[in-house]
Every structure is written in C-alpha cells, then in structure tokens.
C-alpha cells in the first residue's frame, strides 16, 4: 500500500445503508468539515471514487483524431504532426486529404512512419481517400520501465557496434547501427506517449511507479539524452560509409577505451535513476569529468599525424563519443534533482534530538 492508501472496514447502519469512515488528516488537508457533501462515483464493477465538492473531473480525452493534409504538405511536416498526435495519447489517427485524395508519396510517408516510429501502431485502413492508424499497445502490455531498459540496451549496443564497424571497416555493420537508431526512437516515442498520459491520470501515474508528475518530466529529459546517445553512435557509424577505410589501430584502441568509459558512466547514471539514488548520481557526475583525460590522451596521440583526413576523422569521432559521457552527466543531474529531498530528509533526521 502507498502513502495515499488506507484500509477501512465497511460498516452497516440502519436497515439499508453501509458506511465507510475517512482518515481525519485527509479531510483536514482537503478543507472539508462535518456536514460537507462529497460526490461518490461508481467506476465499473471494481472501483468507487469519492470527490470533494469543488472537484472538477477531467474532460475525457477523445479516442480518435483526424489529421487533414493538403497536396503541398512536406513529408517531414506530415511525420511531425503524426508523431504529435501519437504523443497526445489518441488511440486512432485518421489521415485524410483536404483535396480529392492522398498522393502515393503521402501514403508512403505515413505508412513508413508508422512502421519505423510509432510503436504498437498498425494501419487498419489504407486507401487514397485516407489512412487509419490504430494504436494497439497499452501500458499493461509494455511498461515504461521495460521500454526504457530496452531503449538503453539498444543505444549502448549501437555505440559498441559503431566502434567495431570502424575497426573492421564493416559497412554492413555500420548500416545496421544506423537502422537501429529508428528502433531507439520508437521506444523513446512510446515512453513519451505513456508519460503524457500518466500526467493526466493519477492512477496510471501510480501504476508506472512514480511518486508525482514531476518525475514524468525527469524521465522525459532522460529519454531525450538516450535518444541523443543513439544519434552520436549513428554519426560514428556513418564515418565508415563516408570514408570506406579504417584508421590506425593505436588510435582505435584509444577510441574504444574512451567509448567503454562513456558506456560505463552511462550505466552508472541509469542505475542511479532506477535505484532513485542521489548519492550515486552525484558520484557519477564527478566521474564523468574524467572523460577529458581520455580525450586529451587521444588528441595528443594524433598531434604529429601527417594524414589530415585521418586526424579529422579521429577528432570527429572523439567528439561524438565524448558527448555520450556528457549525456550520462546530464542524466545524473536529473536523478539528483528528482531525489534531492532524500538528502534533506536525512539531514533533518540527523538534526532531530534523540529521546
């Protein structure tokens, strides 16, 4: 049971009524007093809700959305609007033309976007007069926690595989890294959708395991940092396709050590997030600063390298890898902000006089 729950017995009074008492501090906190009326709402066959008189229930969110597009809409604009409606929690999105019909290019854009970006979505109707996208997955089928862990695993694998692709000059592996970035984004979009829904529904917020809506904002920022981690792994992989040759093994060893360090602090930051551990988060922030030592060692090693192209490639890859450590530091900062009250509570407890 959470701090907002209490067990109370149902009592029988008179000939046909049952009564349930309410905790005194709840009544006081809500500004209620003896004689005030409350609204009792039956929610299906499994729940009852008790609302104070000033309570205004939220207007139920519409299940369906219609997106109208015209012939001049750019594909990128259509995709952005589609993702925005997905974020808002609509269960069904219908894309319709403002004119006579959708062009083949527009239909292709919508279908490809659903396939690559919108997790748990299926196209249930497809014609030149409109496309209907049904969002089938829900919180119970894929938890935010499960999706987030999968997203982190994919982003880390991308980083490791990107360095391996450079070492082996492996174009096929590089393309696999680049395509995996879409999968990372799909998990990110799904998590953001669920967080937006949870902010508007206290029951779902508790199901996710968050203490308050502020944690949703923290997770939203963390998701963005994981997405960016995947983006920088993609940039490293694109180096293989752009130059089609490897770089010196002595520099690759340093790049790999730098990458492994970054993934290590990213692991620590995410572990602090899952444990809600502000102490570990603060330690990770300090440790992230060590990335400058790895970068300096690498850049010093190429100081006398004559091949300007190779120097450029190494410096660019080093920058992309360093950014991952910066994202780990950002995540740790978020964890610290989300859990700093624990440090304050410990300070208060320590200062309290002992009996």
CA quadruple 223, 225, 228, 229: dihedral sign: negative
- With 0-12 CB in 10 A as exposed, 13-18 as middle and 19+ as buried, what is 190? buried
Please tell me the predicted confidence (pLDDT) of residue 251: 94
Name the range with the highest mean pLDDT among 4-8, 110-114, 140-144, 345-349.
Answer: 110-114
Return all residues near 146 (Cβ < 8 A) that are at least 6 apart. Answer: none
Please state the pTM of the whole predicted model.
0.75
Give the closest residue to 184 by CA, choosing from 270, 128, 88, 119: 119
Residue-range domain boundaries for the chain: 11-51, 64-135, 144-342
Contact of 39 with 54, CB cutoff 8 Å: no
**How confident is the model over 173-183, as pLDDT tens digits?**
999 999 999 99
Computed over every residue of the chain, the mean pLDDT equals: 87
Q: Concatenated DSSP letters for 149-185?
A: HHHHHHHHHHHHHHHHHHHHT-HHHHHHHHHHHHHHH
Please tell me the predicted confidence (pLDDT) of residue 3: 62
- Which carries the bigger pLDDT value, residue 184 or residue 24? 184
- CATH node for 64-135: 3.30.110.20
Please state the length of the chain: 355
Please tell me the predicted confidence (pLDDT) of residue 179: 94
Contact of 281 with 272, CB cutoff 8 Å: yes
Predicted confidence band of residue 346 (pLDDT cuts 50, 70, 90):
low
Predicted confidence band of residue 345 (pLDDT cuts 50, 70, 90):
low
Domain 144-342 class in CATH? mainly alpha
Indicate whether 212 pLDDT > 60: yes
Indicate whether 60 pLDDT > 50: no
- Which carries the bigger pLDDT value, residue 16 or residue 166? 166
Please tell me the predicted confidence (pLDDT) of residue 353: 54
**How confident is the model over 25-38, as pLDDT tens digits?**
878 767 788 888 88
Rounded Cα–Cα distance for residues 340 and 282 (Å): 10
Average pLDDT score over residue span 323-350: 81
Please tell me the predicted confidence (pLDDT) of residue 145: 84
């Amino acid at each position: 049971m959470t701090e907002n729950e209490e067990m109370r017995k149902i009592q029988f009074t008179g000939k046909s009524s049952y009564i349930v008492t309410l905790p005194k501090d709840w009544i006081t906190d809500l500004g209620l007093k003896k004689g005030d009326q409350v609204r009792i709402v039956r929610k299906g066959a499994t729940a009852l809700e008790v609302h104070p008189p000033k309570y205004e229930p939220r207007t139920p969110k519409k299940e369906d959305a219609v997106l109208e597009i015209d012939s001049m809409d750019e594909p990128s604009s259509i995709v952005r609007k589609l993702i925005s409606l997905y974020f808002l929690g609509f269960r069904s999105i219908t894309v319709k033309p403002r004119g006579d019909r959708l062009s083949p290019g527009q239909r292709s854009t919508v279908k490809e976007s659903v396939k690559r970006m919108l997790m748990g979505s299926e196209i249930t109707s497809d014609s030149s007069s409109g496309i209907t996208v049904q969002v089938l997955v829900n919180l119970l089928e894929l938890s935010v926690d499960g999706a987030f862990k999968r997203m982190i695993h994919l982003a880390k694998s991308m980083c490791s595989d990107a360095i391996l692709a450079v070492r082996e000059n492996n174009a096929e592996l590089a393309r696999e890294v680049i395509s995996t970035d879409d999968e990372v984004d799909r998990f990110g979009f799904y998590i953001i959708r669920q967080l937006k829904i949870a902010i508007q529904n206290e029951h779902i917020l508790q199901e996710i395991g968050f203490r308050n809506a502020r944690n949703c904002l923290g997770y939203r920022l963390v998701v963005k940092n994981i997405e960016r981690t995947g983006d920088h792994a993609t940039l490293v992989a694109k180096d293989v396709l752009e130059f089609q040759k490897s770089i010196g093994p002595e520099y690759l060893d340093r790049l790999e050590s730098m990458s492994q360090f970054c993934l290590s602090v990213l692991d620590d930051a995410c572990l602090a997030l899952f444990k809600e551990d502000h102490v570990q988060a603060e330690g990770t922030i300090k440790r992230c600063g060590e990335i400058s030592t790895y970068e300096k060692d690498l850049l010093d090693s190429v100081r006398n390298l004559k091949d300007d192209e190779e120097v450029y490639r190494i410096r660019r890859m080093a920058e992309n890898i360093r950014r991952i450590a910066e994202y780990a530091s950002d995540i740790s900062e978020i964890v610290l902000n989300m859990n700093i009250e624990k440090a304050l509570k410990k300070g208060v407890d320590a200062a309290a006089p002992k009996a």
